[in-house]
Amino acid sequence: MSTFIVLLGPPGAGKGTQAEILAEKTKLAHVSSGDLFRENIKNQTELGRIAKSFMDKGELVPDDVTIKMIKDRLVRPDCETGAILDGFPRTPAQADAFEVILTELKGRVDLVPYITASEEVLVARTGGRWTCRAHGHIYNQTYNPPKQSGVCDFDGSELYQRDDDKEEMVRHRIRVYLKQTMPLVEYYRKAGRIIEIDGMQAKEKVTAIVLDALKNSGSRRDFSAEM
């Protein structure tokens, strides 16, 4: 039975930051729907063209397009033991489709860390975010600066600011999140998988809470050796 961790939370809560760290610690693949869309936009694919028309407005990409992209990603060999999902599922329809995919993959959602933060913190964090062009490594000019300004510590690639991180756009994305994604908190609470974490703590503290919950999650996989 493969292990899936679903990170839930508003824009800027720290999903990508935590996914990066957790992937390294657990050796599970990091699957970010936002990164996959951005990669397709960069490569000028048809999927990228469709995604861009929604992302530029801070709206969600349609469910059918998103579900197909994630399904294609999860059948790749690096997801054989499971994955850390960052940004998917994001609507009840995506969560239902994900259950069908999980049955096919013989996987299950072991844990749903739900990371929260105030709107002002979300706006401040996204305003100061810098992302690496090559692999999406995440920095913040105040909380997590790179060693050399504008350059990724890991791969030396250029750092850029996302087009959808302007303040008005972030506030709109938060409204979209509240309307379309918040129902998933109840969905996974009913399934007994949610742990709610105050995302305004230091990122190391957030990671420690997730890892602790994972060890006690009843996952078929024993993580204690790897962490």
Q: Rounded to whole angstroms, how far apart are CA atoms 26 and 89?
A: 21
193 is catalytic: no
Give the bridge partners for 8, in sequence order.
Answer: 114
Task: Say which entry of ligand AP5, Mg ion, none residue 138 contacts (CB below 5 to 8 A, set by partner kind).
Answer: ligand AP5
Q: Rounded to whole angstroms, how far apart are CA atoms 108 and 220?
A: 10
Task: Say which entry of Mg ion, ligand AP5, none residue 144 contacts (CB below 5 to 8 A, set by partner kind).
Answer: ligand AP5
173 is catalytic: yes
Give 144-212 as a DSSP string: B--SSTTB-TTT-PBEE--GGGSHHHHHHHHHHIIIIITHHHHHHHHTT-EEEEETTS-HHHHHHHHHH
Task: Say which entry of Mg ion, ligand AP5, none residue 17 contacts (CB below 5 to 8 A, set by partner kind).
Answer: ligand AP5
Q: How far is CA 30 from the centre of its chain?
A: 8
221 is catalytic: no
164 CB-near residues (< 8 Å, 6+ apart) = 55, 56, 58, 170, 173
Residues near ligand AP5 (CB under 6 A) are 9, 11-17, 33-34, 37, 54-55, 58-61, 66, 87-88, 90, 94, 125-126, 128-129, 138-140, 143-144, 164, 173, 199, 202-203, 206
Q: Annotated catalytic residue: which of 25, 162, 166, 171?
A: 162
* The residue to which tokens 């729907």 are assigned: 33
Minimum distance, C-beta of residue 74 to ligand AP5, in the bound complex (Å): 13
Minimum distance, C-beta of residue 130 to Mg ion, in the bound complex (Å): 13
Q: Rounded to whole angstroms, how far apart are CA atoms 213 and 217?
A: 6
* Cβ closest to ligand AP5, residue 145 vs residue 218: 145
Minimum distance, C-beta of residue 45 to ligand AP5, in the bound complex (Å): 15
Q: Quick one: which of 25, 72, 18, 28 has its CA closest to 47?
A: 72
16 lies in the site for Mg ion, by CB under 5 A: yes
* Cβ closest to ligand AP5, residue 9 vs residue 48: 9
162 is catalytic: yes
Residues with a catalytic annotation lie at 15, 90, 129, 162, 173
